[in-house]
Structure 1
Amino acid sequence: RLQPPTAEMLPDVAAREFYWDAFAEPDRAPMLRAVEAHEGPTSAAICAHHLAAEPSRARVLRDGDGALRGFLVLLDRAGLDRADVARDPAAAFLDDATPPGRDGILVRHWMALETHQAPSPVASQVLRAFVGAAYARPGLARHFVLEPDRDGAAGQFWVEQGLLDVVRDPAFEEDGRRTRVVGWDLVAEPIAERLRHTVRLHLGEARGEEAPALAEAAVADPEERVAAVEEALQKALRRFHDDEALARGALAERLAGPLGLGELGVLEAAERVRAHLREAAAALPATAKVAAPGALLEASYFTSPVPKQLTIAADMGMSYSSFRRHLADARRALALRLATAVPLAGAR
């Protein structure tokens, strides 16, 4: 029998190395530097607004020596005022999306100070904290998380794993990035029910509303075909160096026939998909502003380890916002090439 866990029951990943603390004035400057470095000046200015308006919106993660290692900024619908809603589109979304008279929260900023949202012990603690916030608020109607870069290379696992739903995609643009809001509608689906669905999903029992696998979807409309391939490509690029995920993902299912993946083991299938993506990316034609779109994809996804995108942008002589736009264009061009070069399985 499944029971909704409390925050204390959540996995305690490296908890002894870190502890949560209240925001203090010396935390302000390093927090804002981190937001600007990882997300851009507009995001940093909004973070500064929330720290000035209500410092208790921030929680900071410290290591055993008391040094700041990560943080989150959590907005509570009940604590927002007109200035917050006017200044921050995420606050405006929270205010609009929460039913009248009900409580809603949105995690606006969340990161490890040095590595942003990439997997790390610090990021694990940040994730644990904002998931625990849902369990700590009986009667909560909405629990939202802002993904600051829905096109980013790192990506997040929670939608794919059935933990959170996409609420608005894209939500708004900020510093040249498209954001996305994910979360729970805790009125339509209480936490206990969501946990049951998640367990069933991981046991192989698909949720009733789950979309069919890409390789099984008969998509006849060209625009729908490209959109389906772009979604599968996005997941494949995020997990490009994960053999199991790449070989068993939706894009590999689509390419199974043309690439002869059916009889291959995981490692060989993953290498064949990687080679195909590299070849297709290298063949992308130049655009008016980018001489080699494939080079953007190579640097952002195919190299290992993948460097920070700010570093890639600087190396290519681009502003960060221009780099993000050109990378998104290159990714869409690659999806179009894949969608038109190989018929979708099941399509007529």
Structure 2
Amino acid sequence: MTLPSAQPSERTRTTTGVSFASRLTFEDIHHSYHGKQTIRGISLTAEPGEVLCLLGPSGSGKTTLLRIAAGIEVQAQGRVVIDGREAAGPSVFLPPEKRGIGLMFQDFALFPHMSVLDNVRFGLTALPKREAVAAAQAALERVGLAHYAAQYPHALSGGEQQRVALARALAPRPGVLLMDEPFSGLDSRLKDTVRADTLQILRESRATAIVVTHDAEEAMRMADRIALLRDGRLVQVGTSDLLYRQPKDLFAAAFFSEINQFDGRVRDGAVDTPVGRVAAPQFAEGTAVSIAVRLSDVRVMPQGGEIEARIRSRRFLGVIELLELAVPGREEPLRARVRADLLPTALADVTVTVQPQDILVFEKDG
């Protein structure tokens, strides 16, 4: 039987104890698995007290990099440095328990035969039992679950189990907390609340946090900085604003939003696209380019736009509608996301406008 989840306003939660935040640096990390390269020369630093999200699709190397930081995997080349001290390198390898790192697994990894309190106390082996129990109880209070200390994991909801796992990871006051897709198993209705609670606890603890996720919106909600990975390489690092507004390539642009994609070629310092001509002075004459336009940047109106179009299909998604439009010079439909009820139901012929600054141009991959 699952106990009812406490609502955020009903929880009693103390302020999280402060950790001494560490700086964790990856220096030219390489890693292979069964002869296949999984990490290809990644250099990256998580600054003290920041939340750094490792973002990317499955197989991009996010979890492997996290496991290398924790000491669960060993890199083939490069170094892991924590507060200026080499934790893993050509001649040094500190075991996980010597690195001052907390690790929170995707499946929470709670022991079903142990009480909630004993699960949190499990990693506090260096403390006398009485002090370990007190520290575990304090960690449960910080996540609002002190009243569940005697319960067992199966009696808790997914969100409550997630907070127990967080309490266990924070109980030893780690300088760095590593979190591997910590919200992937939660119901979508709970995810926002649990994520917000977790971020507040991380801010209070002041620990450096490295969070793995494949969800771009989740990374933007949580991170001070985002490191976008692809095929074991670092594509781009920066704030969510930077990665969204100034993506380095087509992959980065597509990862943060749905896009329309076109091909083109630079002529006289500009590119002609089905949604208008855009200046491209940064590319040499004749360069083959890929063009991206976000669905939300396609402005659709009954009249007054720059390009005539016809609605092929429209799908109501609640707050917005997804449109497919036929436009001159393009066989595939141009897609757009517009506010629901903006256009009359029976309307077929419309006009389209895309601002030049919303047309993203990249050198064609390959």
With the length of structure 2 as denominator, give the TM-score of the two structures.
0.28
Structure of higher RCO (CA pairs closer than 8 Å, 6+ residues apart): 2
Bigger radius of gyration among the two: 2
With the length of structure 1 as denominator, give the TM-score of the two structures.
0.30
Higher helix share: 1
